[in-house]
Amino acid sequence: MSEPFNGKPSNESVPFVEDLPTRQKNALRLLLGKAVITAEEVARLDCRVIERAPGIGRNSLRIIQGWLNGQGYELTGQLDPVISKRLVQRQRKLERAIDYLRENGYEVRHTD
């Protein structure tokens, strides 16, 4: 079971990252919808939002956290416990499908 996120991973050290690798930059650019991103903009996001972005996993989150720490910012929020990778993949696919439908003029409603 996953422990709440307290700013540092439980058994892994956060690396110091001066500049973000291309994969993390591109994922954050896609998330923010901007070509140029700043540490301040990323620090304003909750870690759960970043974690759910396509292309961001636990390792990427650690790298982003190290980059923010190097810039004088901290990642806020708590990570959701991951039940299974398959469930997370299904959820991401569903979210992408819903986004695709909305982009093409369809209205998607939640049923309870």
DSSP of the chain, one letter per residue? -PPPP-SS-SSSPPPP-SS--HHHHHHHHHHHT-SS--HHHHHTSBHHHHHTSTT--HHHHHHHHHHHHHTT---BS-PPPP--HHHHHHHHHHHHHHHHHHHTT-------
Q: Does 68 lie in the same domain as 88?
A: no
Say yes or no: 56 and 93 in one domain: no
Q: Which carries the bigger pLDDT value, residue 5 or residue 28? A: 28
Q: Do 94 and 74 lie in a common domain?
A: no
- By residue range, what is the domain housing residue 46? 1-81
pLDDT tens track for 25-56: 999 999 999 999 999 999 999 888 898 888 88
User: Is this structure's pTM higher than 0.85?
Assistant: no
Do 70 and 51 share a structural domain? yes
Q: How many domains does the chain have?
A: 2
Do residue 74 and residue 87 come from a single domain? no
